[in-house]
Amino acid sequence: MSYLGVAKKAEITVSDSAYGSAFAALIKTIFGEGRCIFNPSEFSVSREVSYAEHRIPGLGRPISQFVSGGAEVMQLSLLFDSYSVGLESHVILAATSGKMPEIGKFDVRFFTEPITKLMEVAEDIHAPPQVVFKWGTTKFEGYIISLTEKFTMFNSIGTPVRSVLDLTLRSSLMDSDVRNSPDRTKHRTVTEGDRLYLYADAEYGSCADWRHIANANGIDNPRLLQSGASIVIPPL
């Protein structure tokens, strides 16, 4: 909900979808939830996929084979300031701190601790909780895998009153499009002991489909595979 017409602040909370609403509520009681005093000025989401290179004797370039996809990674920085924040922070205590004399400013860790504690191990699950970053239409569920807090301002008695949190979250989204057979042509390098039926079982889930591989490679006798040769695995 907006406050006095000001846009809603970003927040990082325990994900309800990870453990069920009742258990998530329990974790929220332990760890709290982190509301940002200032919205991030930017964030990035990246993803990588892995390819293996097979070097075949006689070829000018290696053959690339897709291995697996990687999870999305979100990176963002959050500013926390208990020295000069005002009512727009949506945090009444922070607004109160902003009006106090310098020596009475709240320790900025009071506002960052609910987020930093989300990296601690929850006793009931023996792992840090799954979290969700929410801001407007953006929703990113995953785990905090890296957190750095840099303190950039202190009051006259050394209490930190401003800090920047650099966060990295890895998505917990699972791939629901699992394939039992290849959807494109692949290549394998024959090693000692390889058999076409083993390729068929690994790629198609059935040893009986070895003839598809034999026909694609013009192999008459599947027992006579030459070590080091390149084998084509056709899609079904």
CATH number at residue 36: 2.40.30
pLDDT of residue 189: 85
Beta-carbon contacts of residue 101 (< 8 Å; ≥ 6 apart) = none
| DSSP-derived secondary structure letter, 200 | H
CATH number at residue 227: 3.10.350.10
d(CA 138, CA 140): 7
d(CA 117, CA 171): 19
pLDDT of residue 163: 94
Residue 142 lies in a domain: yes
Which of 131, 147, 171 terminates a domain? The answer is 171
State whether 87 and 165 are in the same domain: yes
CB–CB of 145/169 below 8 Å?
yes
Residue 180 lies in a domain: no
Residue 223 lies in a domain: yes
Domain holding 38, by residue range, is 11-171
Q: What value does the mean pLDDT take over residues 115-119? A: 88
* 3-state SS, one letter per residue, for 125-186: CCECCCEEEEECCEEEEEEEEEEEEEEEEECCCCCEEEEEEEEEEEECCCCCCCCCCCCCCE
Residue 25 lies in a domain: yes
Distances (CA, A) of 96 to 82, 105, 223: 9, 9, 81
Q: What region does 23 belong to: left with phi over 0, alpha with psi -120 to 50, or beta?
A: alpha
Residue from 79, 70, 30, 75 nearest 51 by CA: 70
Residue 60 lies in a domain: yes
Crossing angle of the two packed helices 196-204 and 210-217, in degrees rounded to 10 = 120
CB–CB of 146/168 below 8 Å?
yes
Residue 126 lies in a domain: yes
For residue 114, what pLDDT band results from cuts at 50, 70 and 90?
confident
State whether 144 and 91 are in the same domain: yes
How many percent of the chain have pLDDT more than 70? 76
Report the range of poorest mean pLDDT among 71-80, 140-149, 171-180: 171-180
Q: Tell me: pLDDT of 7 over 70.
A: no
Domain count, the chain: 2
Sign of the alpha-carbon torsion through 108, 111, 116, 117: positive
Q: Tell me: pLDDT of 146 over 60.
A: yes
Most confident of the following: 8-17, 23-32, 95-104, 208-217: 208-217
pLDDT of residue 179: 54
d(CA 135, CA 119): 20
pLDDT tens figures, 123-133: 777 888 888 89
Residue 54 lies in a domain: yes
Which of 145, 171, 197 terminates a domain? The answer is 171
For residue 90, what pLDDT band results from cuts at 50, 70 and 90?
very low
State whether 201 and 141 are in the same domain: no
CB–CB of 154/102 below 8 Å?
no
pLDDT of residue 77: 93
State whether 88 and 194 are in the same domain: no
pTM (global) more than 0.75: no
pLDDT of residue 164: 94
